Structure 1
């Protein structure tokens, strides 16, 4: 899919959220500027990366490194304090709210893989070598340190999984 088509989808996913639109467009442009690992750095990628970091991280307070793998239609709601480790993988149609942290337990260790159509509540923390399954929900303030099955909801600290068929 072409970059402009992906950006258009991101803009539509963040309709009514100008800050979210700015973040996802800036991420897509910086990510596209970045050279593949097996090629030399493009001379113009460095200034793009610097502007991206200054604008998104320093001014807006959102850390999504430009080498992070992010699927289509990422949605950023009330984006302040979002931290995504560059080893994290985000699928399509993921929703991040304020103060969400996705990363590893210690430097160099694996990060979460977030499948498609996952929503994170404000202040959710997901760390470690785990998978958040398709259609899962992570509640506000949840601390997740083990995989969340597809369709389940993780709530609490430590997080407790509620499967779709189980009573509340």
Structure 2
């Protein structure tokens, strides 16, 4: 039962975030077991219609999301299903994490987000990009290159403006 509510504390005071993450955690087991996927099909249809169509949050149930995920404002979030998101991340509204369609029609890999990453509103992380641990990315940034641990990045394209001291990150 604790698996289903692992994001509850992180979303304190955020009813929409709590609701979406509980629904996501309930749908997630269907992505690892084919039999469960068949049995769970009505719930997965409900999840898709309610969360994606009505709440406008595209967070596929097969996405790997670490515990303590905070969904700030919960609007216009688009996450590619192959994205990996670490623990204790904070995503604000209008954020997109996706892959790149190449000229030959194939797609690049999806972003990998480390632990303790905070994304401002309207952040786009596109392609096979790795975001390190303890990273903050400012609002409106477009990330197309890797960002190492303990950094603050802003802009279009995103650039590192400050390297954080490991002690400052924990404070």
User: TM-score over 0.5 for the alignment?
Assistant: yes
- Aligned 8 A contact 1:33 1:48 in 2: no
- Aligned 8 A contact 1:6 1:73 in 2: no
Partners of 1:148 and 1:42 in 2: CA distance: 35
Q: Which residue of 2 is the match for residue 114 of structure 1?
A: 113
Any idea what SS the aligned residue of 1:154 has? strand
Partners of 1:8 and 1:46 in 2: CA distance: 22
The alpha carbon displacement at 1:42 in A equals 3.8
Partners of 1:7 and 1:79 in 2: CA distance: 18
Given the alignment of the two structures, is residue 129 of structure 1 paired with residue 128 of structure 2, yes or no?
yes
- Aligned 8 A contact 2:112 2:131 in 1: yes
Any idea what SS the aligned residue of 1:163 has? strand
1:73 to 68, 74, 97: 68
Partners of 2:52 and 2:43 in 1: CA distance: 13
TM, length-normalised to structure 2: 0.88
Instruction: Report how many residues are paired.
Output: 161
Partners of 1:80 and 1:165 in 2: CA distance: 29
Q: Which residue of 2 is the match for residue 148 of structure 1?
A: 147
The alpha carbon displacement at 1:162 in A equals 2.1
TM, length-normalised to structure 1: 0.90
RMSD in angstroms over aligned alpha carbons? 1.6
Any idea what SS the aligned residue of 1:153 has? strand
Q: Which residue of 1 is the match for residue 169 of structure 2?
A: none
Q: Which residue of 2 is the match for residue 43 of structure 1?
A: 38
Given the alignment of the two structures, is residue 59 of structure 1 paired with residue 58 of structure 2, yes or no?
no
Given the alignment of the two structures, is residue 32 of structure 1 paired with residue 32 of structure 2, yes or no?
no
Q: Which stretches of structure 1, 4 residues or longer, exceed 6 Å deviation after superposition?
A: none
Given the alignment of the two structures, is residue 89 of structure 1 paired with residue 88 of structure 2, yes or no?
no
**Cα distance change of structure 1 residues 111 and 42 upon mapping to structure 2, 3 Å threshold:** closer
